[in-house]
Amino acid sequence: MQDLLHRLRQEAERGLDIDLDPYLAAGRDPLDPVLLGSGSLAAPVGLFGRDPGRLEAATGEPFVGAGGRLVRDALSRRRHGRPCRDLDESVAVGRSLCWVNTVPYKPVGNKAWSVAIKRRFLPLVQELLVERWSGHDLITLGNVAFDWFRLADRSLGPELKAFWSLPDRYERSLAVELAGKEIRLHPLPHPSPLNATWYPRFPALMDQRLEQLGWA
C-alpha cells in the first residue's frame, strides 16, 4: 500500500484545495490521505463514500463523523446488539470492512470535490478497488459515490442511470464490471444530517443492507 499512498500524496501535491484547519489542529499532515484507516483490503464488504469530513481529517480514520457513525453504529448493532459507545468502539467494529472515498482528502466547506478533481484521483481509487481490495460487495453512500462508476467507465452510464431512477434503488443491488472485476453495488443515501429526507431513515436501510449481505 505504501506505493499507492505515495502516489496519492504526489497527486495532492500537484495542487488541491484541501481544508487545512482540521489536519493542522490535530497535528496531522494534510497531504496524508484519509484512505483505508483501520479497515481491511481482505474484507468481503466495502463502503464507498464521497470524501472525508472534519473528524476524519483530524483522526485519519474514514467514516467516523456524524454520517459515518450511523454506518458504524449499524455494524455494532449487528455484532453487539447496541450502537458504538465511543470512537474506539467505532474504529474497532469497522476493522473487517474496506473503507474508501472518491477523493481521500477533505475539501473546504461541506461541498463534494469537483468532477475534475475526482477524475484526477480516479485511477488510484480504481486501483484500490479493483487490484488491491479482494471483496466484491460495495455499499455506496449517496449519489456522488454511485455516480463515480460512471466517471470510471462511461459505458456503464445508461445502466447506472436507469438503476438510479428506480424508486426502490436503496433495496436493490446492481452488478457492474470495472476493469475486468465484478463489483456488486448496494446503494444507500448519503448519511449526512443535512440530508433531511433520508437521514432519519438511514439506520433502518443500513441494517437492511447488512442483513442482505449476511455481514456479522
> Domains of the chain: which residue ranges?
2-213
What integer pLDDT is reported at residue 136 of this predicted model?
98
Q: What is the largest CA-CA distance in the chain?
A: 46
The three grid cell numbers given for residue 198, joined into one nine-digit string? 433520508
Determine the 3-state secondary structure of 101 from DSSP. strand
Determine the 3-state secondary structure of 60 from DSSP. coil
Condensed to tens digits (0 to 9), the pLDDT of residues 12-30 reads: 999 999 999 999 999 999 9
What integer pLDDT is reported at residue 53 of this predicted model?
95
User: What average pLDDT score do residues 93-118 get?
Assistant: 95
Q: Over the chain, what is the mean pLDDT?
A: 96
User: What average pLDDT score do residues 205-215 get?
Assistant: 96
What integer pLDDT is reported at residue 109 of this predicted model?
87
Phi-psi region of 82 (alpha: psi -120 to 50; beta: other; left: phi over 0): beta
Backbone CA torsion sign across 2, 140, 66, 86: negative
Helices 202-213 and 66-80, packing angle to 10 deg: 50
Cα distance between residue 133 and residue 156, in whole Å = 21
% the chain with pLDDT above 90? 94
User: What average pLDDT score do residues 120-144 get?
Assistant: 98
Query: Could you tell me the pTM of the whole model?
Result: 0.96
What integer pLDDT is reported at residue 1 of this predicted model?
87
Decide if pLDDT at 111 tops 90. Answer: no
What integer pLDDT is reported at residue 193 of this predicted model?
86
Q: How confident is the model at residue 60 (pLDDT cuts 50, 70, 90)?
A: very high
Condensed to tens digits (0 to 9), the pLDDT of residues 146-158 reads: 999 999 999 999 9
- Which stretches of the chain are DSSP H helices? 2-13, 20-25, 54-59, 66-80, 87-93, 115-127, 142-152, 157-164, 202-213
User: What average pLDDT score do residues 185-211 get?
Assistant: 94
Backbone CA torsion sign across 121, 157, 109, 138: negative
Domain 2-213 part of CATH 3.50.50.60: no
User: What average pLDDT score do residues 112-138 get?
Assistant: 97
Determine the 3-state secondary structure of 81 from DSSP. coil
